[in-house]
Chain A
Amino acid sequence: MNNNIKGYVSFVLHAHLPFVHHPESDDYLEEQWLFEAISETYIPLLKNFQKLVDENVDFRITMSMTPPLLWMLDNKLLQQKYINYLLDHIELSKKEVKRTVYDERLNILSKYYLEKYSEDLHIFKDIYNCNLISGFKKFQDLGVLEIITCGATHGYFPILYINEKTVRAQIAVGVQTYKKYFGKQPRGIWLPECGYVPEADKYLREFGIEYAITESHGILYADPTPIYGTFAPIVSPDGLIAFGRDIESSRQVWSSINGYPGDFNYREFYRDIGYEADYDYIKPYIAHDGVRVNTGIKYYRITGKTENKDYYNLQWAKDSAERQAGHFFDSRQNQINGLSLYMDKPPIILCPYDAELFGHWWYEGPYWLYILFKKIYYDKCNFKLITPGEYIDKFPEIQISSPCRSSWGANGYNEVWLNPTNDYVHKHLHVAGDRMVELARTYPNTSDKTLKFALNQCARELLLAQSSDWLFIITNGTMVDYAKKRIKDHIGRFTKLYYQIKDNNIDKNFLEEVYKKDRIFDEIDYMIYY
């Protein structure tokens, strides 16, 4: 530690999953997205935050936790399903410990997984009482974590904004959900997919949002040109503060070729006993219909550009993480030294990532963060960790400039969410949005209980249809059937209710069942569309 602070580094981890909740069946593999993220990302992050706090390391990190993720983490049924998932994994790991006695290196790993999943169960059930939100909230209350919000269902603003009320509702419900779970007003927002449109600024301000995270060119192409580039925030004419992603540091982590996660000692994501073990042996632990899927038990390291993979070695992986944390640490120091020659205020290096990169894709990522944060605290260092909120409190003089319309998707604009594979969806989203506004205008402030329930459910269905995830999945080409089905289901349910409301013929039984399935945003008020 020293006092010669020349700049700041701000980590922002975006934690998001689309709302997947199927009380009617256990067969949906997509529910496992949540369970994998809990075991591989959320619990490891919480564990490492706790370790840092226990070791009295002063650190700062920012996380966005999206409303669908919060609602899923709070959902009793999904909590129980996660416990079932862990029980399966513990059972499988035990079998693995027996099966792998023939090779000591393998056996060490089997035992590691048995211990890991048992510990997950303990942390989940006994420490956090099945609700991880309380864990994240604890670190926010301790002052080391700043949690920000997101659009209600991760709806992509650059597509929705041609009906501005639908963007306003995404923001309103995002803020409402945040307040419900964290008991205070969010200061910042992670714009879904970093999709920035200036039309949203006034609504973000209306609901008390101070700052947003944008892609690098959201700042670099801003008007007028920001004099500090991405190394200081800008404030839009409507008063929204925008931070831009630092290019150099994000490439170091993300690059497919020389990014950190590709280190040869790291765990190989694509080798999983779900695909490799004897079929009859693994069958109870893969998809219910017998399709092989990831189990999370992986025994190999990346090794190199070869199919001939070597066994994973826990210590080697840690060594690599430590080496890379050192590299990142040195690179930021050099970067800040260079920048301080050209800037008359301390730069902020903003490092936003998908939270699920840490642990799920890059298994060693949470450990890397832990080591890095310790280094920043203990070693001689010219920068400090900071949250965007703290930075604007410290440096409230901000250049006025309009951020550039942008996103963090491929090529920086809207192609991922608007291209020939998924462009058939948009008219349905737009029509449903217009119809929702029409409903709110036709039946304002109703006191009829059933009608109100139906109108609120319409709002839920519309929001769920708007998740950017479905469009992304269609573009990406995996799990496409599920994404298409979800769009059809939510637009279908919305449309059915829309006509039932207009015909004054609401089917209560249908309404209740749909609510049971799409159990999100209990407190929503359809009047946000008025």
Chain B
Amino acid sequence: MPRTTKEAKSKLEEAKKTVKNTSKTRAKETGKTTTTKSTTTKKSTSSKATATKKSTTRKTTTSRTNAKRKASNAARTTKKESVTSLKKVKTATPEDFSVLEYYDLPNEYNKTTVKLLAQTPTTLFVYWNISDEDKKTYIKDYGENFFEITKPVLIVYNDTMNYSFEIEINDFANCWYLNVNDSKCKYRIELGRRPINNGTIQNNSIKFNTNYIYIGASNQIESPNDHILFDKNQKTVYFKNIKTNNISSKSINFSYIRKIGKIYNIYDMYKKFYKNEIIENFDLSNPSSSNPSSTFK
């Protein structure tokens, strides 16, 4: 059990001081950025938001008196205990923070961009944006109603298997989930536009008719693999000695393949076991994150 020591006391005092010593400063509004508003209140949300009582000012005052009361209670009731010297120390210093902060995320960054991510081995996620400047250029080149007489399309390129396909999207969307057939393949996506009536459209500046206008291209990604690659039919496996960096090889004969098969059979057995589990109860919360807000049941 803890002992009452001068050292402990002075440490706490020290902690108190460091908290108090933090410089008090005045807020200056810069008002320069697109994302800040200076007039709104500091605390918007936290878990408290679920509470029924909402007044921010009252909250702070009650919590402070609570804290005080608790501290004195603690001191009184713990008199005979060995922890008597420990008192609750003030830990919140709202007076040290004078800048009012409130932020919203911008809708767009006004930059033409197409970004691609893999959600699963066979689901890709793409988001995009066209800058105002680029929009103006298209209107200049193709006419005032360019965005009304054309529709957006995504062309999906599978660079591993060398095929592509196109899907029609709409102007209400700025992102899309799309299914692909082949896992473990490299993909790129191009954002473009086509005339609504499958006709052509003329570029006024270079006097050229086209049925497709390129807007932007994404990064290339590889979709994850989703199966055991047994079919590779490999005869040799390579080993590296990570201490010496020597590479050695081992040829795989029939008995070896049988052994590997046994090891992976064990895995298949587990996979069946997986399927009998009620996954939805289990998966999102676990073991996807160590966060205590996960709901392990």
A interface residues (Cβ-Cβ under 8 A, vs B): 14-18, 22-30, 33, 36-37, 76-77, 79-81, 83-84, 87-88, 90-91, 94, 118-119, 121-122, 125-126, 158-159, 162, 193, 210, 216, 220-225, 227-231, 235, 239, 241, 247-248, 250-251, 254-257, 261, 269, 284, 287-291, 338-339, 341-343, 353-357, 360-361, 392, 396-400, 404-411, 413-416, 418-420, 423-424, 426-428, 430-431, 468-469, 472-473, 475-476, 478-479, 481-482, 484-485, 487-489, 491-493, 495-496, 499-500, 503, 505, 507, 509-510, 512-514, 516-517
Contacts and interface: CB of A to CB of B under 8 A. Distances in A.
13 contacts: A24-B93, A25-B92, A87-B83, A118-B2, A121-B2, A210-B242, A216-B267, A255-B277, A356-B290, A405-B222, A430-B115, A476-B295, A492-B101
Contacts of A239: 242
B118 A287 contact: no
B15 to A, nearest CB: 5
Contacts of B41: none
Contacts of B26: 509
Contact of A224 (B8, B67, B237, B256): B237
Contact of A496 (B36, B243, B284): B36
A354 B286 CA distance: 9
Which one of A261, A479, A505 has the greatest number of beta carbons of chain B within 10 Å? A479
B264 A418 contact: no
Contact of A24 (B97, B111, B232): B97
Contacts of A122: 1-2
Nearest to B249: A400
A476 B70 contact: no
Contact of A84 (B88, B177, B292): B88
A291 B50 contact: yes
A414 B120 contact: yes
Nearest to A339: B263
B205 interface: no
B34 A25 contact: no
B179 to A, nearest CB: 14
Contact of A125 (B2, B25, B104): B2
Chain A to chain B: the 3 pairs with minimum beta-carbon distance, closest first:
A492-B103, A410-B283, A405-B224
Given A221-B225, A221-B228, A290 B51 contact: yes
Contact of B43 (A25, A396, A428): A25
Interface of B: 1-3, 8, 12, 15, 18-19, 22-23, 25-28, 30, 32-36, 42-53, 59-60, 62-63, 66-67, 69-70, 73-74, 77-78, 81, 83, 86-89, 91-94, 96-99, 101-106, 109, 111, 113, 115-121, 125, 127, 129, 175, 177, 184, 219, 221-230, 232, 234, 237-244, 247-248, 252, 256, 259-260, 262-264, 266-267, 270, 273-274, 277-279, 281-297
Contacts of B232: 223-225
B290 A481 contact: no
A405 B118 contact: yes
Given A288-B63, A411-B283, A513-B99, A91 B73 contact: yes
A399 B18 CA distance: 54
A259 B17 CA distance: 49
Nearest to B69: A284
B243 A396 contact: yes
A476 B51 contact: no
Contact of A491 (B22, B50, B105): B105
A495 B36 CA distance: 9
A216 B264 CA distance: 12
A127 B169 CA distance: 63
A108 B224 CA distance: 54
A488 B116 CA distance: 23
A244 B238 CA distance: 19
> Which of B2, B78, B223, B282 has the most chain A CB within a 10 Å cutoff?
B2
Contact of B30 (A469, A492, A496): A496
B59 A288 contact: yes
Given A121-B86, A398-B240, A419-B119, 11 more contacts: A84-B88, A225-B232, A225-B260, A227-B256, A356-B290, A400-B238, A416-B284, A484-B45, A488-B105, A492-B35, A509-B28
A84 B285 CA distance: 30
A227 B281 CA distance: 33
A90 to B, nearest CB: 7
Given A25-B94, A496-B35, A476 B293 contact: yes
B248 A427 contact: no
B267 A220 contact: yes
A477 B190 CA distance: 34
A427 B77 CA distance: 54
A503 B112 CA distance: 23
Contact of A27 (B46, B74, B88, B238): B46
B242 A235 contact: yes
A228 to B, nearest CB: 7
A382 B33 CA distance: 65
Given A291-B50, A488-B104, A423 B44 contact: no
A158 B118 contact: yes
A71 to B, nearest CB: 16
Contact of B118 (A250, A409, A411, A414): A414
Given A224-B232, A482-B46, A496 B33 contact: yes
A414 B117 contact: yes
Contact of A162 (B25, B73, B117): B117
Nearest to B23: A512
A36 B293 CA distance: 11
Nearest to B55: A289
Q: Which of A397, A400, A505 neighbours the largest number of chain B CB atoms within 10 Å of its CB?
A: A397
B77 A17 contact: no
A523 to B, nearest CB: 19
B245 to A, nearest CB: 9
A156 to B, nearest CB: 10
A301 to B, nearest CB: 15
